[in-house]
Structure 1
Amino acid sequence: MKTKKLVASMLFIGLCLVSQAQTTKSQPKNTADPDNLAKEYFSQIMGVAVNATTNTKLYQFVYDWIGTPYRLGGSSKNGIDCSKFAFELYDKVFNTTLGYNSRNQYSQVTPITKDNLKAGDLVFFKIRSKSITHVGVYIGDNKFAHASSSKGVMVSNLNEPYWKRYYYNGGRMPNDPRVLTAELAADGKESMN
């Protein structure tokens, strides 16, 4: 009789332990940081590494505009061209005013090499021309957002043969507050964005 009670007690304790372990596993450990969730989401959608997504506001802006049709001279969600897309992005995300066309925008930036591009830098192209004809905004991992004349606002890869062929240069606004913001975010301190 004592053996039966002992076995029954051990089974009961075992079931309690298993039940407790399953309950602990099914409960979330901590509520995830919303900024980290947003970075992971945009990283997956745009094909950019999570550690490259330092500015959630930038990725949210791009995401909101993806699929907007191209319209030369357009500046709304009904249709937009490449320079107006860059203009709107800089206005809304960085509170900075750019020129209204790609050549004018290039005259405002400090040229930088492709190897030194950071999310938010401008990328310029000379497509079948001796002058700049196209602009996009670099988002990391060789990807850039732009308003394509054939597909509207989209994300493309600088290493695609077409873009590689016509790539001219990158550019960063002088006294760019993004550099400070990215450094603060990397240090784990409060971001200015």
Structure 2
Amino acid sequence: MFLRRLTLTLVAALALAPLAAHTAERPVATATQEQRSALEEYASTAEQLVDEALSYLGIRYRRGGTSPETGLDCSGLVLNVFRNAIGLDLPRTAREMANLGDKVSRQELKPGDLVFFNTMRRTFSHVGIYLGDGKFVHAPSTGGKVRVESIATRYWAQRFNGARRLVDDDATTDFMPSLSAMR
């Protein structure tokens, strides 16, 4: 158990490092107190989502699954993470989730964003949660377990359909560039 918690902590730290590094480098004088508060709230919410998502690593995939005890499918994972981390109830399917929030481009992805893929010859047939640094967590398919993968691998890059942001960070957009700009 200690080793799993240590691994989760290290993965979370690596995933949020670009966000944390940017926050530390941001000139304090250029942001109002309200903007700083909004950024801290967004970072906290994103961290909660990432931490919760990583706590499901290793849970087996089960088609139609919505329970960590019996197995999760991709949307079952996402709805559990959002409900348990921030109390947000999401629709059941990836397609329904794709209608929520704000569209974001691949270059604008931030931790906590939903990423969608065409894995069954139809748009929005698979969903995961973006962790930062080009990584996302998802419940893959039959025989698999919840895991972290790179969005840049050929398989996922070819099937990427778009992303949605459900966590409101409008107040931070003036001084918080996208993750791609931080590299």
Match of 1:159 among 152, 165, 170: 152
Alpha-carbon spacing, 1:144–1:182, altered in 2? closer, same or farther (3 Å): farther
* Structure 1 position 101, deviation (Å): 0.2
CA distance in 1, matches of 2:92, 2:171: 26
CA distance in 2, matches of 1:143, 1:66: 14
* Structure 1 position 49, deviation (Å): 5.1
Aligned partner of 1:45 in structure 2 is 11
1:71 aligns with 2:62: yes
Contact 2:137 2:148 (8 Å CA) reproduced? yes
Contact 1:147 1:153 (8 Å CA) reproduced? yes
Deviations 1:24-70 (A, max 9, x none): xxxxxxxxxxxxxx9x9756335425233644322321222000000
Aligned partner of 1:88 in structure 2 is 80
SS at match of 1:107: coil
Q: When the two structures are aligned, how many residues end up with a matched partner?
A: 143
Normalised by the size of structure 1, how large is the TM-score?
A: 0.65
Unaligned segments of structure 2, at least 5 residues? 21-42, 177-183
Alpha-carbon spacing, 1:130–1:76, altered in 2? closer, same or farther (3 Å): closer
Instruction: Give the counterpart letter for 2:10 in structure 1.
Output: Q
CA distance in 2, matches of 1:63, 1:117: 18
SS at match of 1:88: helix
Bigger-Rg structure (1/2): 1
Identity of aligned residues (%): 26
Normalised by the size of structure 2, how large is the TM-score?
A: 0.68
Aligned partner of 1:58 in structure 2 is 49
Of structures 1 and 2, the one with the larger relative CO (CA 8 A, separation 6+) is 2
Alpha-carbon spacing, 1:97–1:158, altered in 2? closer, same or farther (3 Å): same
CA distance in 2, matches of 1:156, 1:43: 17
The alignment yields a C-alpha RMSD, in angstroms, of 2.7
CA distance in 2, matches of 1:99, 1:49: 27
CA distance in 1, matches of 2:98, 2:88: 14
Aligned partner of 1:114 in structure 2 is 106
Contact 2:53 2:129 (8 Å CA) reproduced? no
CA distance in 2, matches of 1:182, 1:151: 37
Alpha-carbon spacing, 1:103–1:43, altered in 2? closer, same or farther (3 Å): same
CA distance in 2, matches of 1:43, 1:180: 28
* Structure 1 position 132, deviation (Å): 1.8
Aligned partner of 2:26 in structure 1 is none
Alpha-carbon spacing, 1:135–1:50, altered in 2? closer, same or farther (3 Å): same
